[in-house]
Amino acid sequence: MRLSRFPGLGGWGDDPLWGTFYDWTVEHPGVGGAIWRAGVQSDLRLLYEAAAEIGRQPAGSRILDVPCGGGVALRGLRPGQAVEYVAADISQTMLDRTMDAARGWHVADQVEPVIADVGDLPLDEGDADLVVSFTGLHCFPHPELAVSEMARVLKPEGIITGSALLNDSRRYEPLRRAGRRAGLLGPGGTGDEIVHWLTRSGIADVTLEVSGAIGYFRGVRRD
């Protein structure tokens, strides 16, 4: 089933200062990693480890990265890997940053930047071998529909992996509230809800690794 378009939250399109700060932290494992540990008690290296899944895709694979943001996941892509890497985001500014990062990693020839809403992805059913969605679900207005749309474009036996700020702990509620007020965060979900959304969308073998406020999920599309 193709989902109807739903609007983004708007705030990201305005190139918020928070976006620049966030991008800086994820690109600087030393100081940025310390900021992650202090702010959300999470190990930033898990994001890099999850992104390494990209480098394991064989030549000819199609990878969808949504939301690509500033391109943090590109560190997993290898020069000459000969894959098609669709970098999708609702913000042109973020796509420009992704392409700057792609040039820095010498992988720009494999990356196609696409303006897209995660609720209406410009890929056909079963088009992608791998979908990566880092630090994204909590930013979307309808995270459960985003999961369903990402699963739709995944091939049978394709992998989905990503991360999200979880709603499980009350400790981070002030952060979540501030983000929602700023138009940068959506309703998000708990770890159990994310696992449920994935499973309901045909994703099997779902794992969730929690590191502080962030949950890392992974699963395989089965039909």
If the CB atoms of residues 86 and 94 are measured against ligand SAM, the closer one turns out to be: 94
State yes or no: residue 117 binds ligand SAM (CB under 6 A): yes
Write the binding mask 20 to 59 for ligand SAM: x where contact by CB under 6 A, - elsewhere: --x---x---------------------------------
Collapsing DSSP to helix, strand or coil, 211 comes out as: strand
Residue closer to ligand SAM (CB basis): 103 or 142: 142
Paired strand residues for 164: 215
Cα gap 218→223, rounded to integer Å: 17
Residue 154 near ligand SAM by CB under 6 A:
no
At 154, is the secondary structure helix, strand, or coil? strand
- From residue 180, alpha-carbon distances to 3, 4, 61, 172 in Å are 24, 23, 36, 12
Residues 65-104, mask of contacts with ligand SAM (x by CB under 6 A): -xxxxx-x----------------xxx--x----------
SS3 state at 112: strand
**185 φ, ψ (degrees, to nearest 5):** -120, 150
Q: Could you list the residues that contact ligand SAM (CB under 6 A)?
A: 8-9, 12, 22, 26, 66-70, 72, 89-91, 94, 117-118, 134-136, 139-140
